[in-house]
Amino acid sequence: LKATVDAASMPVKLVMRPREFGRVLSHFQSGQNDITISCLPEEEEEGGRGGFAGGFGGGGNPPAKNLKLSSFCDPRAPVGQALQTSISLDTAEDAVLRYDHDADITGGPVDVTVNLKDLKAMVAFCESVDVDVALFCEHAGAPLLVRPTAEYKQSGGGGG
């Protein structure tokens, strides 16, 4: 029996720079076991949203915070483990090299819960070998594929 997971068939694709991704993950408490990654579909630009001049990008549209990492909170956990951390990222930021979310396939947002220590280990490995981190997922309950990628190295977009 051989398990295979095809990254190309997964509707959510995320590629991040490992150094910046590691910094984001470092904001979660050390005792945290799992985090939930929430991927919202990319919104098409709407005519009524223009005129935003904030942020460092200098663009005309407000940031789309369509990627969220939050600590997984078990409702049966002891009171001392109730600390909730939530970080929202704009996928247009420099740390995010690629973000694709095919809402036609997923039908909307995708939330996947992963082991934080395993994810941090993979991010640290990718940083040590100077490649980017690629994450692929389909829906809640399905496997999350995390792998190193050098796809953006040729164009000068990766690394730290």
Number of domains in the chain: 1
Quote the pLDDT of residue 135. Answer: 95
Quote the pLDDT of residue 52. Answer: 38
For residues 51 and 159, the answer to whether their CB atoms sit within 8 Å is no
- pLDDT tops 60 at residue 44: no
Query: Mean pLDDT, the chain, as a whole number?
Result: 79
**Parent domain of 25:** 7-42+61-147
> What percent of the chain stands above pLDDT 90?
36
Instruction: Specify if 129 maps to a domain.
Output: yes
Q: Rounded to 5 degrees, what are φ and ψ at 96?
A: -95, 110
Any idea what the CATH number is for the domain that residue 14 is in? 3.70.10.10
For residues 158 and 18, the answer to whether their CB atoms sit within 8 Å is no
Instruction: Specify if 160 maps to a domain.
Output: no
pLDDT band for position 45 (cuts 50, 70, 90): very low
For residues 96 and 16, the answer to whether their CB atoms sit within 8 Å is yes
pTM over 0.85: no
60: nearest Cα among 76, 72, 71, 48: 48
